[in-house]
């Protein structure tokens, strides 16, 4: 979404009008992608600046990680360390976990509501 990639249109459309909740490390993960795109030449400096501009203005509740650590520990064999926080936030919020990560979607089945969006 923040990088303006064509494949993000479906995700962006799906999120319109929704209350978005993400674990607090979301911004760091998005920045890592922006940085990788910049370093690999997939975007230029202006694109990276635009992405960080949009990220700062993204209306999303950033959920603190510390209160979730107990539940994440219980899930250590089901999810990767970062993905576990997304699943826990979705479950506690009674929200649907929207993901383009098939492995995360499969792991989340039966734990929280999940919707997989395939990237083209």
pLDDT of residue 17: 79
Binned at pLDDT 50, 70 and 90, residue 9 comes out as confident
Question: What share of the chain has pLDDT > 70, as a percent?
Answer: 92
Domains of the chain, each with CATH number or no CATH:
6-116 (3.40.50.1010)
- Check pLDDT > 50 for residue 113: yes
* Residue 82: φ, ψ to 5°: -80, -40
Q: How many residues does the chain have?
A: 120
CB burial of residue 83 (10 Å; 0-12, 13-18, 19+): buried
Question: What share of the chain has pLDDT > 90, as a percent?
Answer: 77
CB burial of residue 99 (10 Å; 0-12, 13-18, 19+): buried
> Rounded CA gap, 112 and 88, in Å?
8
pLDDT per residue as tens digits for the range 10-65 = 777 777 778 899 999 999 999 999 999 999 999 999 999 999 999 998 899 999 99
> Rounded CA gap, 22 and 88, in Å?
10
* Residue 116: φ, ψ to 5°: -95, 130
């Amino acid at each position: 979404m923040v990088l303006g990639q064509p494949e993000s249109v479906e995700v962006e459309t799906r999120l319109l009008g929704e209350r978005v909740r993400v674990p607090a490390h979301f911004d760091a993960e998005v920045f890592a992608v922006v940085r990788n795109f910049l370093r690999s030449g997939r975007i230029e400096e202006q694109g990276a600046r635009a992405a960080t501009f949009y990220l700062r203005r993204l209306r999303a509740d950033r959920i603190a990680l510390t209160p979730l650590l107990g539940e994440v520990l219980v899930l250590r064999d089901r999810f990767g360390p970062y993905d576990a926080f997304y699943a826990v936030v979705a479950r506690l919020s009674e929200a649907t976990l929207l993901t383009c990560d098939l492995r995360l979607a499969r792991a989340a089945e039966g734990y929280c509501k999940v919707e997989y969006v395939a990237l083209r």
